[in-house]
């Protein structure tokens, strides 16, 4: 039987693969659908969202036994990285032609939706429900 850390790592891998699949579908939609501004914005936002997901996973510290001030500083750095990525997505979406800014923000939020959905499923199965 798997322990909690192994199940969490498997769930994080599933979240990563789901995010890559969504990005691949967006790339395919970019060439198939006529809404190039929206799909361009989604791609930019999904790239930023992937960076945010990576930051959240990397800042998780599953096995390094961090505690106290070091863990708090790590959380602050992760939060700062996610804010910088959000600002970068907004600035790039505004500056580039043929990019829908709201679609970029939706793409960025997809990463957070994947994390919440994936970890909610992990929490739902952890208690033996």
List the domain boundaries for the chain. 4-126
For residue 84, the model assigns a pLDDT of 94
**Residue given tokens 């700062």 in the structure block:** 80
For residue 41, the model assigns a pLDDT of 94
For residue 16, the model assigns a pLDDT of 86
| CA–CA distance, 70 with 72 (Å, rounded to integer) | 5
**Residue given tokens 């829908």 in the structure block:** 100
Both structure tokens of 54: 């990576």
For residue 128, the model assigns a pLDDT of 46
For residue 62, the model assigns a pLDDT of 64
Which of the residues in the chain have pLDDT under 50? 1, 128-129
For residue 119, the model assigns a pLDDT of 77
| CA–CA distance, 107 with 56 (Å, rounded to integer) | 16
How many DSSP H helices and E strands does the chain contain?
4, 0
Angle between the N-to-C axes of helices 69-95 and 101-126, in degrees from 0 to 180, rounded to the nearest 10: 150
Model confidence pTM above 0.95:
no
């Amino acid at each position: 039987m798997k322990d909690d850390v192994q199940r969490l790592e498997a769930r994080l891998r599933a979240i990563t693969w789901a995010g890559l699949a969504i990005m691949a579908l967006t790339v395919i939609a970019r060439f198939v659908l006529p809404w190039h501004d929206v799909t361009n914005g989604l791609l930019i936002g999904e790239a930023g969202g992937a960076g945010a997901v990576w930051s959240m996973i990397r800042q998780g510290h599953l096995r390094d036994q961090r505690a106290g001030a070091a863990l708090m500083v790590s959380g602050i750095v992760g939060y700062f990285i996610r804010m910088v990525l959000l600002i970068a997505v907004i600035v790039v979406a505004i500056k580039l032609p043929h990019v829908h800014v709201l679609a970029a923000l939706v793409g960025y939020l997809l990463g957070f939706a994947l994390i919440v959905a994936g970890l909610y499923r992990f929490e739902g199965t952890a208690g033996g429900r």
